[in-house]
Structure 1
Amino acid sequence: MSDILVTGLKIGESARWHDGRLWLSNWGTHDILAVDADGSTEVMARVPVTIPFCFDWLPDGTLLVAAGPSGRVLRQEPDGSLVDFADVGGGLNEIVVDGRGNVYVNGGTDFHPDEGEAPGYIALVTSDGAVRKVADGLAFPNGMAVTADGSTLIVAESFAGLLTAFDIEPDGGLANRRVWAKAMADGIVLDAEGAVWTPCMTADGKPVCVRVAEGGELLATVPLDRFGFACTLGGEDGRTLFMLSAEWRMDEGFEQNIERLTTGPETGIVSTWQAPAPHAGHP
């Protein structure tokens, strides 16, 4: 049984454990929040968009924010302000930084399955702000994670029902694209046993957070009472699973749901559950 840690969010996204606290994007507001063990929150950054925006940190602790609609990656200055770091172009969705400082962002979520299109991509941003595309042809790229040894990047292709893996090359490029597991996935996190946690829906339409092994074996399922958007592992021993969810009506379109969630009732919550293995990798 999961426990509720935070209520009153619009849409919680981009869950990360950092500096002893849970951090998240509160979509529908401009806020990146840090959450203490008692559920109290602190605004850590104000972002110039309301949806979508995600974030991660460079190895030196500098906060980077992917401001989705503008296609820009922003860097937080010591005074808390956000300045341009890179202009990627197009709508961005997720960001992850590996242990060497390679910054990966994905976008291209304007997906039309009836037209056979998969315009999603992953771009690499280097420390000087240079941008190059390192993968394309993705069906709605979503959460990303890098293994602890820095050798592999895994991305959720939400509209293909796949977790897709790439080898990370010495120059930060991606190669050897392959199916890591057949699984519906959104925001993802890796654990120390090499499994991926992700929120998804069961075949009969119930929201859950699942633990999936490479190859697709389902290792654990945690029920949710509303639609899940992201999750991460953290806490003192790295085994607390933080799950971010909000009401989502499957009979409504995407735009209608976003409008209702960002302007209507604050249904977003953070719930927790004790996982069998601790966090590993990035983010």
Structure 2
Amino acid sequence: MLSEELKNLSGEEVRQLIREGKWRDATAGVASGFVQANILILPRKYVSDFMLFCIRNPKPCALIEVLDPGVTSPVNSCRNSDIRFDIPKYRVFENGRMVAEETDIANYWREDYVSFLMGCSYTFENALINSGISIRHIEEGKKVPLYSTNIACNSVSGIDVNMVVSMRPIPYKDLTKTIQITSKYPSMHGAPIHIGNPAEIGIEDINTPFLGDPVTIRENEVPVFWACGGTVYNYVEKLKCSLAITHAPSHMYILDVKDDDFREY
């Protein structure tokens, strides 16, 4: 379980703990009120295709910021940062296959790398909690469950991938409020894409996530699914470029911009 101290830290303070090796766990609930981001780092030659993928698929991959080649510090979202060191855990892929999990990527860095920062549903969780809706994976000290679905993304350059979704159990009585709250964060996946029967979107076993941990679903609750930046794992697998780097599942990049900066009123 998270301590109140970690919940109340700023994005910059948590990044400092990460850089010092003092925090390597999942980031749900950490630095409450600060935006968390998915990342994908690619060689420059693949950038235009992935940019187009994001434009065509804004629900799972809404862009927050794109760094220039070789640049390691975001200009708009967290200037006092280094993307090579400030994420708790990274995944490294070669030819579409994960080959390593690392706590920094300095040894992999190249001057032609371009970093993409994309919205994350952890951002709207704080608004749900403040409205009295509990978040089960935070309650249970687990990683949010992610599932690969049968929902096809819009393809780019012959790369066809299915969407990954995150799931949170929501009481039936809070469904309308949950939809209203999350729809105000379109850059953070927005409103749910599916509510109810997992089989309808190709999920065979709700207790066996593609990534993350299974969580308890109580009798008065229904599984609710949001588009997820974890879709980049499917994209990288199909892309099969020589080297690609992402955050490890649930280990996000915590920024200096605030949740409310991305809320539509």
Q: TM-score, normalised by structure 2?
A: 0.24
Structure with higher helix content: 2
Q: TM-score, normalised by structure 1?
A: 0.23
Structure with higher strand content: 1
The higher relative CO (CA closer than 8 Å, separation ≥ 6) is in 2
